[in-house]
Amino acid sequence: MAIILGAGIVVKLVLLLLLSFSIVSWAIILFKFFQVQRAKNESERFMDFFWKSKRFDSIASQVERFANSPLTVLFNEGYSELKKVVDSDSKSDGSALSTDLGGVENVSRALRRATNSEITRLEKYLTFLATTGSTSPFIGLFGTVWGIMTAFEGIGKTGSASLAVVAPGIAEALIATAIGLVAAIPAVMAYNHFQHKLRVLINEMDSFSTEFLNIVQRNIAGK
C-alpha cells in the first residue's frame, strides 16, 4: 500500500482502472458460474422429464419448473410454432402433432431462432472477460513504462543512480504490471472455462432440436 500511495498520478490512474476491471470481472465470473451451473442442472432434469412424458401438452404445462434451462426455451418456441401450424391447418384432425412438411420447416426455423437467442444470452458479458484478459497486461505495462520514465527523470534531477534512489521508482512502476496480471489471469481462465461449458450446452440444444423435429416427423409419417 505504501508503494501504491507513493506512486505518481498516472500510475495511480492505471492501477484504479485495473482494479475496476478486476472487480467487474469477478462479478461476471460469479454471475456466469451460477447461471451456467443452473442451466446445466436444470437441462439434465428437463431431459429426464421430457423423455418420461408422453405428450407435448403435459410437458408444456410444467416447463416453469425448469425456467433456467435453455432447452425449455427451445421447447416452448417449437411447441408454440407447432400449435400455430396445427391451428392453421384446415385439414387437421385436432391431433397435437397433425401438420405437414411445411409446418415442420416452420418449427425448425423457430428452434433455430430460439437456439441463437439462447446462445446470445448465455454468452453475454463474456466479451468483457476476454477484453480484460487481453488488455490488462498492456495497461499494466503502460503504467510500468510511465513509472520507469518518472524514475529515470528523478535520477537525472538528483544526479545519483544508487540503488536507494532507483529502487523505489522501479518498484512503483513494476506494481502496475503485477496488478495487470492479477486482473488478466482469472479473466482468461474464466473465459476459457465458460466457453467450454457453453459449447456443451450448445451441443445439447442442437441435439434437443434434432430430437424434437424427429418426434414431429415420426408422428407425421404415422398419420
Residue ranges of the domains in the chain? 2-221
Q: Give the orientation angle of helix 126-158 with respect to helix 163-221, to 10 degrees.
A: 170
pLDDT value of residue 88: 66
Instruction: Record the pTM.
Output: 0.80
Cα–Cα distance, 134 to 166 (Å, whole number): 30
Please give the single-letter amino acid code of residue 180. G
Q: How far apart are CA 137 and CA 140, in angstroms?
A: 5
Query: What pLDDT does residue 200 have?
Result: 94
**Is 146 within 8 Å of 8 (Cβ atoms)?**
yes
**How high is the pLDDT of residue 223?**
53
Query: What is the 3 state secondary structure string of the chain?
Result: CHHHHCCCHHHHHHHHHHHHHHHHHHHHHHHHHHHHHHHHHHHHHHHHHHHHCCCHHHHHCCHHHHCCCHHHHHHHHHHHHHHHHHHHCCCCCCCCCCCCHHHHHHHHHHHHHHHHHHHHHHCCCHHHHHHHHHHHHHHHHHHHHHHHHHHHHHHHHHCCCCHHHHHHHHHHHHHHHHHHHHHHHHHHHHHHHHHHHHHHHHHHHHHHHHHHHHHHHHHHHCC
Name which of 48, 42, 44, 78 is nearest 60 in CA terms.
78
Supply the pLDDT for residue 7. 63
Those residues of the chain that have pLDDT short of 70 are 1-8, 88-102, 154, 157-169, 219-223
At residue 98, the pLDDT reads: 45
Q: According to the model, what pLDDT value does residue 96 have?
A: 44
CA angle 147, 151, 156 (to 5 degrees): 145
Mean pLDDT of the chain: 83
